[in-house]
Amino acid sequence: MRYLALLTRIIDGTSRTALGLIFLALIAVVSLQIFTRTFGLYSPVWTEELSRYLLLYMTAFGIGLSFVTGELVNVDMLQEAVPARVAWWMRLFAAVATAGMCIAMIYPSWLFTSIGAFQRSPSLRWTMDYLHASMLILSVLLLIFAVARVVGMLVGIDDGHPQRPEEI
């Protein structure tokens, strides 16, 4: 269990750092768009494309963190209306279903990523596999966080409730 907690902490920290850097890059790209359009300057066409790709990567690195903190879609009202033991089983089932969905997404995401090696983005001219990889990263990170929750619930170190960032 100690290794699982360490792995989760490392992935959590890496995801937070990547998310921050991507958000910083997005701020810079959008600021460039706003500045050039406000003052009637030439607005580089690649800024539109890059901002879309940065949003994909923000989602990929943020999804596991959202899962841990309970910011994804949840059925809190239903869980509060049933006995605590039933709510625990509902949270466990939701985490197992999330992990199962991620397992089902990994191979298609890998295929999608590999197909991108034969395509190029319109304005940046990057191979699309770097951009399609965001879906693979999303699937793997969400899988890790979901499995960590399932294992934690089964061994009794996690009750499945959303955690505040300072608790992680």
pLDDT band for position 167 (cuts 50, 70, 90): low
How far apart (Å, rounded) are the C-alpha atoms in residues 124 and 140?
Answer: 26
**What confidence score (pLDDT) does residue 165 get?**
65
131: Cα separation from own chain's centroid: 14
Question: Which DSSP letter does residue 122 get?
Answer: T
For residue 127, the cross-strand partners are: 120
Q: Give the residue from 74, 73, 137 showing the smallest Cα distance to 105.
A: 137
pLDDT at 162: 86
pLDDT score for 94: 93
Tens-digit pLDDT profile for residues 95-130: 999 999 999 999 999 999 999 999 999 999 999 999
Cβ contacts of 71 within 8 Å, gap of 6 or more: 65, 162
Token pair 């360490």 is at which residue? Answer: 6
Q: Which structural domain, as residue segments, surrounds residue 66?
A: 2-167
Q: CA end-to-end span of the chain, whole Å?
A: 15
pLDDT tens, residue by residue, 50-86: 999 999 999 999 999 999 988 887 767 888 889 999 9
> For position 102, what pLDDT does the model report?
97
Q: What total of structural domains would you count in the chain?
A: 1
What does the H/E/C string look like for 12-39? Answer: HHHHHHHHHHHHHHHHHHHHHHHHHHHC
CA angle 86–92–95, rounded 5-degree value: 145
- Using the predicted structure, report yes or no on whether residue 138 has a pLDDT greater than 90: yes
